[in-house]
Each structure stands twice: as C-alpha cells, then as structure tokens.
C-alpha cells in the first residue's frame, strides 16, 4: 500500500473530517481532490517518477497535500527541519540532487530569499495564497505506476556525528509501521488526533497523519505548540489522542486539574526520553495511559512501544516491547546477544527498516550489518521482554575506565523537587579522561546548589557517577521536538 492510499481506503467515511485547521475542515471525501491537484501541479512543472521534492513548511494542510501529492506523482519527498540554516538546506539539495522545493512564506522570513535562486533548483514553489489557488485549478493528474517497495521519502537524520544522512524509506516501510500500530491499538474513525508537533518530524508525520488517515480519524492541526492554545484545545474540543514530548506532559500535570479532560483517552510521548516520574504523575492524575515509545528515522519511525490499552502493563522508564512488524535484541561490540539485564547496543530487524542511506554505501553497510539495524543506542531488556534505553552509545561518558550513562544521572536528578530539567554531558579531564557535568534548570521559586544535589544523589548513584561540575541555567537548548541538543552544551 502506498502512503497516499491510506486515506483512499476510507471511501465509506467520506463525510468524516480528515483535517481540521483553524476554521477549515476537509473531509475524507474531499481529501483526494486536494492531493490529486498537488500531484498534477507538480507534474505540470516537470516532476517525474524518482525526482526529489523538498518541503520546507510549518504545520498546515498544504504540508500534507504537498507530501502526499509528491508521492502520488512518483517523486521522493524530503521534509526539512524548519530550523535548518540556508547552508544546511543547500547541503540537502545538493546531496539529494533535488530540483524542486516547496517553501512556505513564513520560512522566507528567516532566510534570505535570494539565496534560493543560487541553489541548483528548477522549481521554487512559494506556498502563498495565489499559489494555493493556482494548484487547485490542476485537475489533470496522470496516474503513475508505483510499487510498494519503491522509495517515497528521504528522512535526513540530525547529523550529530557529521553531515546529515538521508534514510531511504519505502511505501512498504511506512505501511508496515502504521499497520503494526493499528494492530496493538483500539483507535478508529471516531478518534481525533491533536497535532502540535512539527509535521516535518518523523514521529508526528507517522502517528498524527499516516496512522490517523489509515484509521479514518481526524487530525486537528496547530501551527506549533503554544501552551495556552494547546490547553484550551485539549480541554474544550473533542481531542482523544495527543502526541507530545515530555516537557509538554510535565506542563499538563501542572496546569490541568483532575477530571478536566472530557474526551482525551490516550497520550503518546516521543522525541525525547520520558522521565518515569512524569509518566507516573500523569497517569495517577488523569487515569488514562501516557505511553512512551521508541523510534528513529531509519525505522519509519516507530519500532518499540509500550502497550496502548488502559489495563495493559506499562513500565515507567521502559520504551516498551517491539511492534509486531519488527524484532529487537541487545548485542555486544561483536554483535553477540547479551544476557537479560545487561547493557549493549539495541539492534532492530523488520519490514519497517530503511533500505539504506542515500549515496552512503559505507555508512549503510556499517549501520545495517548482519541484517540488523544498529541504532547506536545503549539499552537493556528485562525478563518480561520490555526494553530500556540507557543512553546514546556516543553520549556515554568514560570516567577512569568506568562507564557513566548520562540518562541514568539525569533521571536521578529529576527526582529532586527543585529540579525542573537536567542534562548531563562528559567534559575533558586530564586525569580521568572525562568528568561528569550537569546542566540544571530549577523550578520557578525553588532553590538548590551543587552540594545539595550531590548529597541528594549520594544514595541513588555510585560515587563516580555523581556530577562534579554543575551549571545552573535558565533553559536548555532544544530541537523543535523537545530533544536537548547536547552538541550545543558541549
């Protein structure tokens, strides 16, 4: 099944609202007209099967129309992080050999518009009101023969270890992931997903759009996460499913009273590690699941998820169990599986796994060696088959021969009542190789100092794991999905 066929399977639900955005509503009966017009418009500009179309757009219905229209024209769609600089955009254009970019006017406020003309692009489509009208006049879409196992998307990774890599994903990869999520849930056409996370991000796209369209559910789109607006929407509209990042759920615990959610019945956390106390606090207060999962661009993207049912077991701190479409295991540096409870690298295998990185055969071979996707994440598995992320392999701190996993230290710090957020990194030390440093954001109106926090950690962590250096800051640098950007801290 192609990604644009997800909504086409809902012909019996033509009166169901597919997209809500501000005062606009688009039904499943109307959605094909929009996607076909965008596909036809791209075809009129010379976009052919296998061409690459870049999207640089904030959350809006046009992002969805352009993404699916590009796929329906047979092109490979490349969504861009809105935080990309012009230099990063130029890199992706060159690396992918893209000739077409769809850009929203709001993006042009943050970059020099003239710079686009210096990139080797054939089509620069500025998605203003005139362009939207022009697109909808195109009704002559020419069907393209596309196989399910053909690439439909390049998802460029964040590039923490160098230049971004384009993970090549097929229609079948997305289908496997969405069908697997459907298998383990009781979600359906009556559900309404609130989308405040950026659509260019893999988690938001897969769950808020592809899964919702497959189910025949409604997607209520917001430009971005705006606390007051998000709160009012969750409390006053018929939102049943909400995908967010941990900081949003911490905000909801503070701001919402017990019993105020009228329709909300499932919350899914992704994009960054969910502190166990946030999950426990949320579920105890609201009495419905806050589910943590795990995914990455290379897995289309969800690979492991806690059970979604209200009476099923969710373990705080755990990312859950593998989806039905893939397998997981923990291996050592020689790719041998380690015993239960031991830390090693998490590897994955399944029908949702990418076919490789664009133009990077050596990276592909290294990452997909022995038939398993090597995630670069350190993890462990318990006796019930639940997985726990310990840290990024590359974030691990080696201190005098001992391994320190920053996430373990961060979670311990987060248990202190004065600590709002914590980020731990390794800094150079001429005697030990590395030393542990913690960046701390305190709760409003609360105080704590280095000695107090070190004393608090004394019974929770081995002495060598306790940070020696503390820096108290007003905020931590984060990506649009709430992930702390440790590269900037370092």
Q: Is 11 helix (H, G, I), strand (E, B) or coil?
A: helix
The model's pTM is: 0.85
Distances (CA, A) of 426 to 311, 423, 465, 479: 40, 10, 11, 20
Measured distance CA(85)–CA(88) in Å, rounded? 5
Domains of the chain, first to last: 3-146 (3.40.50.12780), 175-392 (3.40.50.12780), 397-489 (3.30.300.30)
Residues 6+ apart with CB under 8 A from 257: none
Residue 56, beta-bridge partner list: 103
- Are 140 and 94 contacting, i.e. CB atoms less than 8 angstroms apart? no
Strand 373-381 versus strand 344-350 pairing type = antiparallel
Q: How far, in Å, CA of 72 to CA of 91, rounded?
A: 26
CA distance linking residue 301 with residue 401, whole number of Å:
34
- In order along its 490 residues, the chain shows pLDDT tens digits of 999 999 999 988 999 999 999 999 999 999 999 999 999 999 999 999 999 999 999 999 999 999 999 999 999 999 998 877 787 888 899 999 999 999 999 988 877 777 877 788 999 999 999 999 999 999 999 999 999 999 999 999 864 445 789 999 999 999 999 999 999 999 999 999 999 999 998 999 999 999 999 999 999 999 999 999 999 999 999 999 999 988 899 899 999 999 999 999 999 998 777 888 899 999 999 999 999 999 999 999 999 999 988 788 999 899 999 999 999 999 999 999 999 999 999 999 999 999 999 999 999 999 999 999 999 999 999 999 999 998 877 788 877 667 788 888 998 999 999 999 999 999 987 656 789 999 999 999 999 999 999 999 988 888 889 999 999 999 999 887 778 888 889 8
Burial of 394 (0-12, 13-18, 19+ CB in 10 A): exposed
Which strands make up the sheet holding 52-56, listed edge to edge?
123-126, 100-103, 52-56, 76-79, 151-156, 166-170, 356-357
Residue 126 DSSP code: E
Give how far Cα 19 sits from Cα of 128, 217, 461, Å.
19, 9, 48
């Amino acid at each position: 099944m192609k990604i644009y066929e997800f909504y086409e399977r809902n012909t019996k639900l033509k009166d169901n609202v597919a997209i809500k955005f501000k005062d606009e509503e688009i039904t499943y009966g109307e959605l094909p007209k929009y996607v076909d017009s965008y596909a036809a418009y791209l075809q009129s500009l010379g976009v052919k099967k296998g061409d690459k179309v870049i999207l640089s757009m904030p959350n809006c219905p046009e992002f969805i129309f352009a993404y699916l229209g590009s796929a329906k024209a047979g092109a490979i769609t490349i969504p861009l992080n809105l935080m990309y600089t012009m230099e990063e955009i130029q890199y992706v254009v060159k690396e992918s050999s893209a000739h077409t970019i769809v850009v929203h006017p709001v993006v042009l406020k943050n970059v020099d518009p003239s710079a686009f003309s210096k990139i080797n692009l054939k089509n620069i489509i500025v998605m203003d009101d005139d362009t939207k009208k022009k697109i909808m006049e195109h009704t002559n879409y020419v069907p393209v023969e596309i196989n399910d196992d053909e690439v439909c998307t390049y998802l460029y990774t964040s590039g923490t270890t160098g230049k971004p890599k384009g993970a090549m994903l097929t229609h079948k990869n997305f289908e496997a992931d969405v069908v697997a999520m459907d298998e383990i849930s009781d979600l359906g056409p009556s559900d309404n997903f609130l989308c405040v996370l950026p659509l260019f991000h893999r988690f938001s796209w897969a769950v808020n759009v592809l899964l919702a369209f497959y189910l025949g559910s409604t997607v209520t789109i917001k430009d971005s996460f705006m606390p007051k607006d998000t709160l009012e929407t969750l409390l006053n509209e018929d939102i049943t499913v909400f995908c967010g990042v941990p900081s949003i759920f911490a905000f909801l615990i503070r701001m919402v009273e017990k019993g105020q959610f009228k329709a909300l019945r499932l919350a899914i956390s992704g994009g960054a590690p969910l502190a166990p106390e946030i999950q426990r606090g949320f579920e105890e207060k609201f009495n419905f699941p806050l589910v943590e999962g795990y995914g990455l661009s290379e897995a289309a993207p969800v690979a492991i998820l806690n059970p979604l049912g209200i009476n099923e077991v969710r373990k705080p701190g755990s990312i859950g169990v593998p989806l039905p479409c893939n397998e997981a295991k923990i291996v050592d540096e020689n790719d041998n599986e380690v015993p239960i409870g031991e830390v090693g690298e998490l590897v994955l295998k399944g029908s949702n796994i990418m076919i490789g990185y664009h133009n990077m055969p050596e990276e592909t071979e290294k990452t997909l060696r022995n038939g398993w996707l090597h995630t670069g994440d350190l993890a462990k598995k318990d006796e019930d088959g639940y997985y726990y992320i310990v840290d990024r392999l590359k974030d691990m701190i080696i201190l005098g021969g001992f391994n320190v996993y920053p996430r373990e230290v961060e979670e311990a710090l987060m248990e202190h009542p004065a600590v709002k957020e914590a980020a731990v990194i390794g800094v150079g030390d001429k005697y030990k190789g590395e030393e542990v440093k913690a960046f701390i954001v305190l709760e409003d109106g609360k105080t704590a100092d280095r000695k107090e926090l070190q004393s608090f950690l004394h019974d929770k962590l081995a002495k060598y794991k306790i940070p020696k250096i503390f820096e108290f800051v007003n905020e931590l640098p984060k990506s649009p999905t709430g992930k702390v950007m440790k590269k900037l801290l370092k």
